Structure 1
Amino acid sequence: MPSLLPDSKPALLARTALVLALLASLSVAGCAVGPDYRRPDAPPVDRYTAQPLPAATAAAKAADGDAQRFLQGHDVPARWWTTFDNPELTRRVNTALAHSPSIASAQAALRQARENADAARGGLFPSADLGAGATRQKLSAAQSRQTGSGGPYTVYNASVSVGYTLDLFGGVRRGIEAQLAQADYQQAQLDTTYLTLAANVVTTSLQEASLREQVRATEQIVDMQRESLDIAQKQLKIGAKSLSDTLAVRSQLAATEATLPPLRAQLAATRNQLASYLGTTPAQLQLQPLTLDAVTLPSDIPVSLPSNLVEQRPDIRAASAQLHAASAQVGVATAAMLPQVTLSGSVGSEALRAGDLFSAGTGAWSLGLGLTQPLFHGGELLHKKRAARAGMDKAVADWQQTVLNAFQNVADALQALDYDAQGLAAQAIAESTASQQLDLVHRQFQLGATGYLNLLDAQRTYQQARIGLIKARSARLADTAALYAALGGGWRSDTRVASQKP
């Protein structure tokens, strides 16, 4: 193919390319304006609660009543839900992590953020475009007298153009840094989704098991009271008991039966919620029975160091990424106020016939160097920089508040475990005492030594104590899961992104 340029031009283009390469190297190696990101320090504390934690919680003579030991300085395992040692619970969590649309949404958001970060890297390289076209035109009479031809005629052209804006002050690099920080944020959001979903599945499953046992316990009380009503009605017929005794038994039976529909409604709603977590509809939900007796209370509870919490909690990592992005935006806004140097060039061919393109004498080229220094934009650039600074200040405050909330969550969960153990011990005594009292009153009733009112009162007390014990067991298991989640869950789905150099 014939050369598109006169023989004297290649040396000029070579020198220009060399200058372009040198300037590009300087722009990449140059400093980047704006603050360099540094994560704030974690609170300088060595514990989460106002008072030092005990070595272990209280123990109770009841199911799930073992003492729990706090292992200071140990990190939460990634698959913390397996510490409950229940295959059905583990299956539910794994199913949710594999099929929940919320996970798919967070994964797509992460891919989008990473692609945007990769797209931002393109600003570090020259842009090249291939163009071709045809123009039909006619010159004016005045132009025709000067050129000797007025047309109309068609001009065909084909060219390659190259442009490059030197990143002398790091505006492009700060923009890339901001996009990488956004990818970090989406990564932390994905980890948050994993952690939240796992915690929700565990706690909702425990709530389902608790409600099912509450329904079963209430049904047993109902059967007991129906038996008492049957006896009362028979004794009323033979005149051994008064009508008021029979009405009292019937009233208590109705009151107990009235507690069943709300419990069953809660159970149904809990199962529907589980279906949503597991990524299916209530009609398609298939669950194996889960009982509190089949769930093992973890006896060793890892408690991470406070200094490690800022790395383990995904919401804190998300706040750190937002702060990183905000600090990079200050650099972008600062660089926009400084000179911009642009290099451009093109080479191509123009001809009056398409077949003559790239033939001798049709070559055309251009080289350009542009310098732009903003002078007056009505205060736009200055206020954008100030806005970026304010955004960074907001991100710092948001990070601090997120950390405070995280420490509060851990403190609440730790203290809840300690108080749950004490509450379970007291509730176990109450249930045992109420059971013994009911047996005693029932025997006295059969011997005619006491009346229906005492029997009904004993039944009511036993029902409340038994339901309370079920709730206490469920609360202790659920608060253990809440502590795992408050400590960050140990889940890290991927490595960080913003640590990469633009």
Structure 2
Amino acid sequence: MAAAGRRISSFSIFGVIHAVQTFSHGGGCLVDAAGPSHCRANGQQAPSFALAAPPPAVQASGAVLTLEQAISMAMSANPALRSVTLSLAISDGARLQAGLRPNPELSLLREGMSSNSGRTDTYQLSQALELGGKRGARIRLAEQDRALALGDVHVARADLRASVTAAYLAALTAQEHAALARQSLELSARASNAAGRRVAAGKISPLEQTRSRVAEAGARLELSQAVADAALARRRLAACWGSTEPLQRELITPDLDLAAIPALSQLQARLEASPQMARARRQIARQQAQVELAKAERMPDLTLSLGQKKDRVSDVTQTVVGLSMPLPLFNRNQGEVLTALRSVDKAKSDAEVAFLRESDALADAHQRASLAQEQMDSMRQDILPAAQSAFDAAVTGFELGRFGFIDVLDAQRTLFQSRAQYLGALAARYRALADLQRYLAPDDTAGNLPTDRNEQ
């Protein structure tokens, strides 16, 4: 048990020890890598089981894809993120338009069509003068729209990072499951061949051969399913950066922090700094800027006119100066002001809803991370050592003639399944950590992305 515990503790994160069983066709010895060879006393031919050292996740010479590389590719090529980022360019255009002043108006007024009947021509240039701070209010609203668009980008980047992390780990887990399934099928096939030879020699009952063939068929089906799942997971990962081609590069274990998970209260205290809550605050500021604009538009604009009036009969030219302003008797923009005020109330309520939603999601991710950690600890301390011990006992019992070969096969498959469950617990913990990062840290991976001019 101690030796098994030492072997289990040497597991890498996803580089789970793959057992390679080799059936000897001569010599009749059972070889255990943890100890010396043991030969059957009666000299019967027996399969040998060599537990090899854990191989690397991928060949050193092969092309690999790391988690950070996958995230970088998604950040630069994801169509949805690119669409959200284009909102910044749109908001820049709106900001430029908001700062423009009204164009002057040139008009010509002719009274009378005949020069002999006192025809007069009036040339007039009019300029609207915005009062009440409308231009400044429009600019502030446009800047808040840009800040909101930037918040959308930060939220999209945080969501994309978490989604790529989950897709990468799902593909990596499926890749390792397929490797375990291949090992299980190899064992089952060799077991079936060995059982056939021993039945032919009259050493065991034909029932043992039938059971070994059933086990081999089951292992073949499991391998087909594992390969299909791995291909689907890799295709989903490639879709994160807009690729429709199957992913050919191997995946390796990410170097993520496995430190103790902070308490939920500590994480919730940092929730206000999340991209989601920052965007909710920007939405409130945007609606408040809309209120300022609606109030500014209650002030009517003043139109200044300057021109000349020329009488064609007397050939007299007169200067024309005029001022005009709408009288705010009926329309004082009261409907827009009320709408803007209610929009502020709605944005505040939406922020409260967002906080509750993100807080619940944070608690869910924290619980999943804690549960996965408990499962990993339990498997490292109890399940994996017990499965390894059962396999060692089955091998020893088979050597001494106390167990059938199918018992060794069942023990080996149980060990494989335990390691597969350990992979699943690791992947679940990583996905939960990715969700925690989604709701906690502000986006610091924007690179050359334009920043909010109003942010401190």
TM over 0.5: yes
Matched residue, 1:483: 436
Name the amino acid aligned to 2:129.
Y
Q: For structure 1, which segment, 442-451 or 183-192, has the greater mean C-alpha deviation from structure 2 after superposition? A: 442-451
- By relative contact order (CA 8 Å, sep 6+), the higher-ranking structure is 1
Matched, 1:203 2:163: no
- Distance, in Å, in 1 between the alignment partners of 2:299 and 2:68 is 59
From 368, 371, 389, the counterpart of 1:419 = 371
Matched, 1:267 2:230: yes
The 1:448/1:156 distance shift into structure 2, 3 A limit, reads farther
- Distance, in Å, in 1 between the alignment partners of 2:172 and 2:305 is 72
8 Å Cα contact 2:235-2:245 kept in structure 1: yes
Deviation of 1:363 (Å): 7.2
The 1:365/1:237 distance shift into structure 2, 3 A limit, reads farther
Please list, as runs of the form range in 1=range in 2, the aligned pairs for 1:357-376 lying within 5 A after superposition.
365-375=320-330
The 1:331/1:231 distance shift into structure 2, 3 A limit, reads same
From 347, 354, 358, the counterpart of 1:395 = 347
Matched residue, 1:245: 208
Name the amino acid aligned to 1:314.
P
The 1:171/1:165 distance shift into structure 2, 3 A limit, reads closer
The count of corresponding residues between Structure 1 and Structure 2 is 391
8 Å Cα contact 1:183-1:497 kept in structure 2: no
Matched, 1:180 2:143: yes
Secondary structure, aligned partner of 2:103: strand
Q: For structure 1, which segment, 219-228 or 295-304, has the greater mean C-alpha deviation from structure 2 after superposition? A: 295-304
8 Å Cα contact 1:157-1:349 kept in structure 2: yes
Matched, 1:97 2:75: yes
Secondary structure, aligned partner of 1:368: strand
- Distance, in Å, in 2 between the alignment partners of 1:402 and 1:62 is 43
Deviation of 1:316 (Å): 1.3
| 1:105-152 residue CA offsets vs partner (Å, 9 max, x unmatched) | 222101211321332233xx4x333648899x984xxxx6xx63499x
- Distance, in Å, in 2 between the alignment partners of 1:299 and 1:339 is 60
| 1:430-484 residue CA offsets vs partner (Å, 9 max, x unmatched) | 1232122123213323443223453343233222212111212222333333322
- Distance, in Å, in 1 between the alignment partners of 2:79 and 2:180 is 36
| 1:29-73 residue CA offsets vs partner (Å, 9 max, x unmatched) | xxxxxxxxxxxxxxxxxxxxxxxxxxxxxxx946468xxxxxxxx
The 1:373/1:435 distance shift into structure 2, 3 A limit, reads same
- Distance, in Å, in 2 between the alignment partners of 1:465 and 1:87 is 27
Matched residue, 1:26: none
User: Gaps spanning 5+ residues in structure 1: where?
Assistant: 1-59, 66-85, 353-359
The 1:387/1:64 distance shift into structure 2, 3 A limit, reads farther
Matched residue, 2:252: 291
Q: Could you state the TM-score of these two structures normalised by the residue count of structure 1?
A: 0.67
Matched residue, 1:404: 356
Matched, 1:496 2:452: yes
The 1:163/1:250 distance shift into structure 2, 3 A limit, reads same
Secondary structure, aligned partner of 1:186: helix
Matched residue, 1:317: 278
- Distance, in Å, in 2 between the alignment partners of 1:351 and 1:263 is 95
Secondary structure, aligned partner of 2:322: strand
- Distance, in Å, in 2 between the alignment partners of 1:351 and 1:248 is 116
The 1:239/1:138 distance shift into structure 2, 3 A limit, reads farther
Name the amino acid aligned to 2:350.
D
Deviation of 1:405 (Å): 2.2
Deviation of 1:362 (Å): 6.2
Secondary structure, aligned partner of 2:426: helix
- Distance, in Å, in 2 between the alignment partners of 1:87 and 1:254 is 33
Secondary structure, aligned partner of 2:128: strand
User: Gaps spanning 5+ residues in structure 2: where?
Assistant: 1-7, 14-63
Name the amino acid aligned to 2:423.
I
Deviation of 1:419 (Å): 2.8
The 1:228/1:436 distance shift into structure 2, 3 A limit, reads same
| 1:369-426 residue CA offsets vs partner (Å, 9 max, x unmatched) | 313214269xxx5555444333222211110111122223333333433332221121
Secondary structure, aligned partner of 1:347: strand
8 Å Cα contact 1:413-1:483 kept in structure 2: yes
Please list, as runs of the form range in 1=range in 2, the aligned pairs for 1:46-445 lying within 5 A after superposition.
61=9, 63=11, 88-122=66-100, 125=101, 127-129=102-104, 131=106, 139=113, 148-149=116-117, 160-167=125-132, 173-282=136-245, 285=247, 287=249, 289-292=250-253, 295-299=255-259, 306-310=268-272, 312-334=273-295, 338-347=298-307, 365-375=320-330, 382-428=334-380, 429-445=382-398
Name the amino acid aligned to 1:496.
D
8 Å Cα contact 1:64-1:296 kept in structure 2: no
8 Å Cα contact 1:160-1:346 kept in structure 2: yes
8 Å Cα contact 2:275-2:442 kept in structure 1: no
Matched residue, 1:5: none
Q: For structure 1, which segment, 324-333 or 464-473, has the greater mean C-alpha deviation from structure 2 after superposition? A: 324-333
Percent identity between matched residues is 20
8 Å Cα contact 1:339-1:372 kept in structure 2: no
8 Å Cα contact 1:61-1:425 kept in structure 2: no
Deviation of 1:216 (Å): 0.5
8 Å Cα contact 2:181-2:226 kept in structure 1: no
8 Å Cα contact 1:128-1:160 kept in structure 2: no
- Distance, in Å, in 2 between the alignment partners of 1:371 and 1:160 is 18
Deviation of 1:98 (Å): 2.3
Matched residue, 2:33: none
Name the amino acid aligned to 2:351.
W
Secondary structure, aligned partner of 2:130: strand
Name the amino acid aligned to 1:491.
D
Name the amino acid aligned to 1:406.
E
| 1:286-340 residue CA offsets vs partner (Å, 9 max, x unmatched) | 63x2223x63544377887755532x3111122112222223334444555x452
The 1:456/1:340 distance shift into structure 2, 3 A limit, reads same
8 Å Cα contact 1:349-1:362 kept in structure 2: yes
Q: Could you state the TM-score of these two structures normalised by the residue count of structure 2?
A: 0.73
